[in-house]
Amino acid sequence: MDELVDADEVLNARDRGKKRHRRQLLDATSEAIYLYGVRGATIDKIHEISGLSRGMISLHFQSKENLLKAVAKDLADEYTQNWQESVIASHEGEPVERLNSLIAADLSPAVLNERNIAIWFSFRAEVNSHPEYRHYVNSRDSEFRVALLGIFRGLISDDPDRDAEAKLATNTLTALLEGMWTDFHLNPKNFDRDEAQRACLYVARSFFPDNFEPQPPLDIQ
């Protein structure tokens, strides 16, 4: 019996070790991309940052290319989890409240930070030569658009005659958020998250003014 328990403990320890090493490789590769770009994230750099042997990449990912795709997927999964948790937390609220939560999640430091955005745009720069990255770094995943469209449809009470407005508002706000991410990428020190959120809500209000509280006149310096 003790031998079986010991064997299980050994297997569990091995599984934990594999997961830890896999995570180390993902984190080290992310750091290498952040510092040197996708093309500069060489096996030597990943090995240096992770402290793991070169054979670990082959053991866990079979190839460096698979490791890079795993990093892109990891980044995309983190982004999706962030906004989905926000939607779940506010699902019983009014559409405007859910919209506020979704925009705030998209502009949150949890995903919109210098490291993540540098990695995100590094992968985007490689999409022409590596189209397999596109799925992970496309302009907001399809589920995000579906959630946003659902919120706008809620604002118009699913009126089919206004569905085109909801779709246009979805495309417009998605493009605006994309622009906010680009602005942050270029100007992280001067980026104002509150101002960015106000701009997004201002655009949403222009589509559906009857659904928002009246706002005081803009005071633009």
What is the per-residue pLDDT for 106? Answer: 96
Structural contact between residues 114 and 30, judged by C-beta atoms closer than 8 angstroms: no
Query: What is the chain's percent helix, strand, coil content, to nearest 5?
Result: 75, 0, 25
Q: What is the tens place of the pLDDT at every residue in 121-152?
A: 999 999 999 999 999 998 666 889 999 999 99
Enclosing domain of residue 2: 1-62
Residue 133 inside a domain? The answer is yes
Asked if residue 7 has pLDDT above 60, the reply is no
What is the per-residue pLDDT for 55? Answer: 84
What is the per-residue pLDDT for 219? Answer: 58
Mean pLDDT of 104-131: 96
Residue 119 inside a domain? The answer is yes
What is the per-residue pLDDT for 205? Answer: 94
Residue 216 inside a domain? The answer is no
Q: Are residues 89 and 194 in the same domain?
A: yes
Residue 220 inside a domain? The answer is no
pTM of the full structure: 0.85
Q: Are residues 74 and 120 in the same domain?
A: yes
Domain-terminating residue out of 62, 77, 103? 62
Structural contact between residues 170 and 149, judged by C-beta atoms closer than 8 angstroms: yes
Structural contact between residues 166 and 153, judged by C-beta atoms closer than 8 angstroms: yes
Q: Are residues 95 and 186 in the same domain?
A: yes
Number of domain units in the chain: 2
Can you read off the two tokens belonging to residue 86?
């926000």
What is the per-residue pLDDT for 91? Answer: 75
Mean pLDDT of 141-170: 89
Q: Are residues 48 and 114 in the same domain?
A: no
Q: Are residues 51 and 84 in the same domain?
A: no
Residue 139 inside a domain? The answer is yes
Q: What is the tens place of the pLDDT at every residue in 28-40?
A: 999 999 999 999 9
Of residues 60, 5, 1, the one with CA closest to residue 29: 60
